[in-house]
Structure 1
Amino acid sequence: MDIFIARQGIYDCEEKVVAYELLYRNSTINSFNSEIEDELATYQVIENINSFGIDNLTNNKIGFVNFPEKLINKNIATLLPKDKVVIEILENVNPTEEVIKNLNNLKKQGYSLALDDVENEEDIKKFVNLVDFVKVDFLLSTKEARIKIAELCKKHNIKMLAEKIENLEALNEAKELGFRYFQGYYYSKPSIFLSKDIKIKNSSIFLILAELIKEDSNFEKIENMIKRDVALTYKFFKFINSSYFNFIEKISSIKEAIMLIGKEELMKWLSVLSVIELSSNGNDEHTSNTVIRAKFCERIAELIEYEKKEDAFLVGLFSNLHLMMDKDLKNLLKDLPINNNIKEALLGEESILRNILDLVLAYEKVEEDKIKKLCNIIGVDEGKLWDLYFYSLDWSKKIAH
């Protein structure tokens, strides 16, 4: 399925792009769909940031992301890397005790905050000790209001960003008032990014969430539930590759990654996925066959006592990823925190993992000569392949229910 996101440049006094605001889009129409709820729009932006990669979207600059009140209170912002984003507090957010507490927690964790669409100084006062940026709407605010806003921001050392700058007159006024950052059609309109994504089974997400809610969550069970869905596994690895987690070592298994990031962050991420429209023209039968292939690879690795059977599973699971997403495989693998042995096998380099995958592919196509040759190379009794395949088929049926 197609996914969309837009970005609009934020400029400094030297007219250099220093950041981008990342905006919701659901088509190539370059405008916000006002029928979409703020919460759903932000959920979709967060997931699409994960799909595209934030550095790809921002050219390694900072990304500004809108957050409505409900998501501030759900602490969803921690799914984004604190050194890569500014959390924009939407203009309709009420400065309740809960909101202020949660914004304070984000500040303590190192996040920068911006107050969006400010029209007068009263909009700022209850957030004045929290925000790093104030974004002033130059279309809706009056000149007198902007003077008072500038005085208040200077007093509290808050950076000022003039938004909806549409002509030179507005830009010159902003500069005279001490604004140092600018955004609007005078500089550029939002530009849309288009990419492909793959379908996730909603049932997978809800079953995992149900297990995570338990006090004695079974991480092996959760790992198996993630493993049965190719799209979910791929997205999970993309998610943990976020610089927010900053893992030094490559991840060796899904279970290890779950333990490292913790239940709370995993639940937040799955909650984001659960509210997004997860519909596409994906082929469920094709996906199911890929899961069988992955388990078949893992069983062969077990039989020959290969030390990392998890690697064999991932090689099988990701073997058709490029076809499912209609993208170059090398570029897809670049963003996944999996070890080089898996990547090299998927790219066709000679190795035991590649031989296992080739054997499974040959078995699927009933290529008898190739099966015999690869069994000899790997050291597998050809007569045992049917049992291994039947086990994998049975396993895939059981975990689907």
Structure 2
Amino acid sequence: MDVFVARQPIFNRDKEIVAYELLYRNSLKNFFDPSVSSSKATSILITNSHINIGMDNLVEDKYAFINFDSTLINNDIPSLLNKDSVVIEVLEDVKPDRVFLSNLLALKKQGYKLALDDFTLDYPYQNTIPLYDIIKVDFMLAGLDGAKKIMDKYKNGKRKFLAEKIETVSEFNTALDMGYDYFQGFFFSKPEIIQGKAATSINMQFLKLKEEINKNEVDFNNISKIIESDIGLSYKLLRLVNSFSLNSQVSSIRHALAILGVKEIEKWLNFIMISDFVADGADEVVRLSIIRSRFAELIAEHSNQPQMKYQASLVGLFSMIDVVMGKPFDKIFKEIPMSQHVKDAITNKPTSPLYDMFQVVLSYEKADWDTLDDYTSKLLLKPSEIPDLYFESVSWANKYVFTVDELEEEERRKNSQ
């Protein structure tokens, strides 16, 4: 049985990622076995080779929030996991009888962190609240008034509160003002236009390269000269290409162009541009952009439209360029040359042939499994392949971010000498 696992980032008050919630489903609906319980699905999630092999890739050194029902807790399944990397998330509809509470308390004594999901003011088992280290409040479910009343009534020095379904910067700021400690949702992927803040400008070298690459007749010599005129860009490009793309080392830009081709080099240049644009504290924007880019490329390769893989990669990469640059899409599209198909997919226009691929990316990311079903069938994708493509994309993005961080550290050391 296939296990589909997505992740949602959880931030602290400084917008630093401290954890990911793992959102899962045991299979796509066309292959769903209704006899499989949520307990069995979670057990498979935990023991499945994807997770055993890929937990580090999925959450790195952060905590993983994982849902557990009473059956799993009563069978001591959470103890299979490292207490220093997992938060046991108890579903709000669990009826905490004596056996359950005894087992939950045993896990707490072993050092596991406990979280209560979807807490509301009328939660019927008030006497169990002291057991939990983290209380999760769904802002859509509780409403702003309810979310504030919960803080006023239950907040104390030790217990932490997590605001869920935070989808805009405004909601984040509201929860921050209420005193919430952690924040979950995709608010970080929404543009924040701050009056008086200078929007990021496009590097002229990059524009020259895009113009040259998009010509009907591509001139390798001109492209090489433009890249080589920027020593920093050349160094980054060669380091990244050698880290990811080839078995043999590439020693020059011309060599890289000859082996990889223009489209592959353009992809790496786009990655570098995105990384350079993003301000400190916005690493997750880069990471998610790279995950989306790689995921979209792999989806295209495995779909009935493999010829669209480079354009699909662009859609994923530039899908949050408005966040990165602090500008609306229409202004950015005037500055960065890209095809109309790419622009339309980024702005969610179904007329684009890339639209379906991007919807697979977005629906998996948000664990919207029903929507995922619809678009995978349109693209003739094999359901069993989707989790592997996602895990590969996350792993690939982690490696990319690590390599870029190494390059930046090298640059800082050189500048300090």
> TM-score, normalization: structure 2?
0.42
Please say which structure displays the higher CA radius of gyration. Answer: 1
- Give the helix-richer structure, 1 or 2: 2
